[in-house]
Structure 1
Amino acid sequence: MKLRDFLIGVATGLAAAIIIKETSERISPFVPANQVLNNVKSEFKRESSIDGSWIYMKTEDFYNGITTIPVYKGGISRVHDGELESFEFAADARTGVIVDLKKI
């Protein structure tokens, strides 16, 4: 095997790896679940401290009356005015925007 052929093979492999990486990032347009949870927590922290939080890392379908969108579901608990409050939320997986918030 000639050195030239070997280098062409290496260059082709590297180019293919870069193209596959860039394409996979574009195909998966979802915001990471941890980033969504951190954004929700920062909004809640404006009013009072957070006692606990969770998010389900897998997307679920959510029907909002018009269309079905992929969402992350999660929850926040906090102490507000001396009382424990718990909330469940659904956040759009593409944008991170909260589409449903319920006090439980």
Structure 2
Amino acid sequence: MNWILLIIAGFCEVAFAACLGKAKEAAGNDVYLWYGGFLITMTISMLLLIKAAQTLPIGTAYAVWTGIGAAGTVLVGILVFKDPVNFWRLFFLSTLIISVVGIKFVSE
């Protein structure tokens, strides 16, 4: 169950990073909505990370949480914000994902 919470926390980390990106592009009162979304998703992410870390090793939980957040944010950047795509970005993104999956499988 705590692995599921940790994965959801990682997705919330992606969401709060995306909210920051959208806030940068927004104008007027929309900026406050995106910052509000940032605060809400950041809070949920942190609370779920805290809950998951109660039973999972902190090093593993944090590595998986940040790995999901980093990989997801790169993908959102590419798909939503039109960040550049090239071989090396995709290569290192795939090594990050493989590393996070590997950490999960070698953890008890």
**TM-score range, shorter-chain basis?**
under 0.3
- Quick check: which has more Rg, 1 or 2? 1
- The TM-score normalised by the length of structure 2 is 0.26
- The TM-score normalised by the length of structure 1 is 0.27
Return the structure number with greater strand share. Answer: 1
- Greater relative contact order: 1 or 2 (C-alpha under 8 angstroms, separation 6 or more)? 2
